[in-house]
Structure 1
Amino acid sequence: MSGLFDGIASMLSDVFGTEVTYAPTGGAPRAVQSVLRRSPVVATGPDGVDVLVTSPSWRVRRDLVPELRRGDLVEDAQGTLRVLNVWPQGSPAADAHLICELEDTTE
């Protein structure tokens, strides 16, 4: 069944995304095609309930950032943000998205 969804997240990132710099803790920074939003977004929490994320958020394919964890940094033209939480979206696809709650590091 997962084969049905494979490729959809990649297509969405390619169309709606842009390159941001991802800096994993202890790793080398690299450009990642993804969607970084500084306005509220709805995410599905680990218990399956929708959560309104009012802090900046980052939607990224999990296969592009397998080491993603709390404390990693993401940078775009407006500044650097730190990963606070990571929520999987429940898709079985290999390229499914994760939604990360971020905080501005300048505050």
Structure 2
Amino acid sequence: MTSVFDGLAGITAAVFGAKVLYQPKVGSSREVQSVFREQPIEVTDQDGHPVLIVAPTWRVRKALVSELARGDKILAPNAKTYLVKNLWPSGSPAADAAVICELELAVTP
């Protein structure tokens, strides 16, 4: 069943996003159009409660990163590498819904 929200995640990424290099632990690295933020954002937890994320976040369409997992890396537009620490659903009922990743700056040896 289609939703009035179908397509919004792609439009949002196209307008507000940039190319981010996704580096999964397993599989090939690739660039994906998505939204990286360093400012705090609010998401909804599984029980419907608002949660403030003060860490950098990455909003990406789930279909573009189907193997997305904790510990994967991204190279953000600010030229810094981040680790995926937590995954949050966007709450959208759209077929192209995004996932929101809470990030941590990767430490380089």
Give the SS at the match of 2:9.
helix
Alignment of 1:6-85 (within 5 A): 6-76=6-76, 77-85=78-86
- Within 2, Cα distance between the matches of 1:60 and 1:105? 19
Structure 1 regions of 5+ residues with no counterpart?
Answer: none
Task: Tell me whether 86-95 or 49-58 shows the greater mean CA deviation.
Answer: 86-95
In the alignment, residue 95 of structure 1 is paired with which amino acid?
D
Q: TM-score, normalised by structure 2?
A: 0.90
Q: Taking structure 1 as the reference length, what is the TM-score of the superposition? A: 0.92
Aligned-partner residue type, residue 84 of structure 1: K
Cα separation, 1, equivalents of 2:47 and 2:79: 32
Distance 1:33 1:84 in 2: 20
Read off the aligned partner of 2:59 and give its amino acid letter: R
RMSD (Å) for aligned C-alpha atoms: 1.4
Query: Shift of residue 63 of structure 1?
Result: 1.1
Q: Which runs of 4+ in 1 moved over 3 A?
A: none
> Cα 1:51–1:2, aligned 2, differ >3 Å: closer, same or farther?
farther
State yes or no: 1:87 paired with 2:66: no
What percentage of residue pairs aligned between the two structures are identical?
Answer: 50
Shift of 1:5: 1.4
The residue identity in structure 2 corresponding to 1:65 is: V
Tell me the alpha carbon deviations over residues 57-96 of structure 1, each in whole angstroms, 9 at most, x when there is no partner.
Answer: 0011111111111111011233100000001122221211
The alpha-carbon deviation at position 104 of structure 1 amounts to 0.2
